[in-house]
Amino acid sequence: MSFLNPVWTKPASITKKTLDPLGLDRISDRLTSSMLTGITALTMRARYYSFYVWTIKNVNETEKINRLSDFENAFFDRERAYAMACIAHNEKSSNPNEDHSNIQGLREAHGKWQESGTTLRLHGFRHLGNRLGGYGYYYQASVGNLGLTQQEHIKDVLTPLGVRLAEAFEKKVSKTKYFEKFIGKNLIPKSVFHDYGSKACLCLLHGEDASDRDVLREILLGTNEEAKGVAHHKNRQDTLVLVLHVIDKLGKLLKTADEQTFLNIAYFRQFLLKEKAIDYSCPSKLNQALDRWKLFRGHDYFSFTCESLFHIFLESLDINRNKGLSFTQFTSLFDTPEFVQEIASVLRTQIHAKSPKKIILNEILANIVKIDTGSFSELNLETSYEFDQACNLDSTINEQILVDKLIEEFESEELNLEKSVILASLVLLLIFARFYWRSKPAEASWKWLVSQSIDRSKNKSDLGVSIFVYELERRLSNPEYSLYDFVCWIYEDYIITQAITVYNEKVGASLYNRPISWFHSDGKVYRIDRGYDPRFRNSRFYSCISILNDLGLCTLNEDYYVLTNDGKTMLHRLASGEE
């Protein structure tokens, strides 16, 4: 018995809020939620939307609910039975295209299945810790955001659209022995689960006889009446259609569509094929979605780079664990001739200054722009736009190349402080040079980024690309503003002060458990508490791929994806604007 694990499936994990030391997830979460409302990194199977709304319908119709625990117990009974049905179906399945990955509570449920005889005793068995199972952990907010449920005192209830989906799924469930006489029962023969799974398993949604498939397509692709004119439903539709277009384009080239390729397409309008950069074009209707995912990737690079600088700071504290480091002592570590040599080496130019304090930042920006535009001139709206168009996967340096080099430094046996800080600083400067032209006229996608960067509860911007561009532009009005000034500013405001602020916010919000601390003040010096490794943000791309496969719009052909006939029809219909 082997559980299928297709190549598009990337294990998802719950990241504790304490593991976001600089608060950079705030904007990335808003960006992905705006573009993929109802789909998260942890909602990877489409049929769970159907199953959960049917469960709510069935519980509310058949159980007497007087308190929250009544609703939770009844819900939990049905979910663990469904987990067993999917496991039972996998046991009998011989079709390699039937995907049984990401069953909620798989490990515990599989163990229960294996240790049982011909009959399962369900009472007292918990496959997930949450009283509402995978619904409570992963799907509850998403189902609500799709307009399928609403909260009513001690329980969730269905909207008319939710009822429609639940009734469609019930057409399959109602034909099972489980539905007829085993819902809520303690002792259930395995044969009942085999029957249940053969009719309603997660993997069977893509079939033409799946009564809920077409309803789910309408809901997730935003073609139902309830979604018309609603911005976040339109954004989700555009993203999913964009993913279909990427799959179609790459599938014809026998290339796997993965997250890195998708983000390269969004950011550079190119992808790599046998190490060669290929230009990507899409229908004009999808340009806005592609542009917004470019801004997500920009924030992703920005976040990874800031966390890299945080990592370097903690590593430096670790090296000086016995005595600690003051801020002045730390910044003096990169006020060296080696720092100048490193930036000259990376930019492949001559720098005559002997200290970072003498390197004018505007000249560094001009050198960056020159690499791709060919002219050494100050950064302005025109040169920023030219640089943004020219700096791509073919360039001598770009954000991805610098990030890859930064990762190599972190994986080496000994940290090269000067080189690591230079690489990280240059990523930030490339981001500034690339996005500066957008900020002045505030074009549409930039306005969207700014709107997603605001913390409404505090009426201020969170740390991200937009505030970085505005603040650096202000500092560059000083013609003597140096590279050293820039690095000190980023470290003081964006790394150390930001980490302390975020930590204090979490301490204030924590009622029971004190959040993780990374470093602390000891008089005039800082001391390390634990290390931190930078990470990239989850674009939810793998959830999109998995859901589109579940819906029968794409399929795995050997090791790359292709569109099904339904997928091609859907792409043509929605990419051309036909409704």
- 296 and 190 within one domain: no
- 299 and 198 within one domain: no
- 307 and 199 within one domain: no
Q: What pLDDT does 6 receive?
A: 37
Q: What is the DSSP letter of 181?
A: I
Burial annotation 546-559 (CB, 10 A radius, 16+ → b, else e) = bbbbbbbbbbbeee
Query: 176, 204, 232: which is the final residue of a domain?
Result: 204
3-state SS class at 415: coil
Q: What pLDDT does 577 receive?
A: 65
Mean pLDDT, the chain, rounded, equals 92
- 302 and 183 within one domain: no
Q: How many domains does the chain have?
A: 2
Beta pairing, strands 454-455 & 460-461: antiparallel
| 273 φ, ψ (degrees, to nearest 5) | -130, 110
Return d(Cα 575, Cα 243) in angstroms, integer: 11
> For the residues of 472-533, what is the DSSP string, one character each?
HHHHTTSTT-BHHHHHHHIIIIIIIHHHHHHHHHHHHH-SSSPPP-SEEEETTEEEES----
In a domain, 516, yes or no: yes
Q: What pLDDT does 8 receive?
A: 36
In a domain, 320, yes or no: yes
- 304 and 200 within one domain: no
- 439 and 329 within one domain: yes
Extract the residue ranges of the chain whose pLDDT is less than 70: 1-18, 511, 577-579
- 160 and 54 within one domain: yes
- 191 and 81 within one domain: yes
Torsion of CA 401, 396, 394, 276, to 10 degrees: -70
- For 341-368, the pLDDT digits (tens) are 999 999 888 888 889 999 999 999 999 9
- 509 and 372 within one domain: yes
In a domain, 336, yes or no: yes
Angle between helices 47-62 and 160-173 (to 10 degrees): 90
Residue-number span of the structural domain to which 130 is assigned: 47-204
In a domain, 176, yes or no: yes
- 400 and 499 within one domain: yes
Query: 182, 204, 226: which is the final residue of a domain?
Result: 204
In a domain, 263, yes or no: no
Residue 96 tokens read as: 């390699």
| 578 φ, ψ (degrees, to nearest 5) | -75, 135
In a domain, 219, yes or no: no
In a domain, 450, yes or no: yes
Query: 140, 171, 204: which is the final residue of a domain?
Result: 204
In a domain, 533, yes or no: no
Task: Name the helix (H) or strand (E) containing 563.
Answer: strand 560-563
- 292 and 200 within one domain: no
Q: In terms of Cα–Cα distance, which of 150, 40, 16 is closest to 542?
A: 40
Q: In terms of Cα–Cα distance, which of 298, 537, 308, 332 is closest to 405?
A: 308
- 451 and 351 within one domain: yes
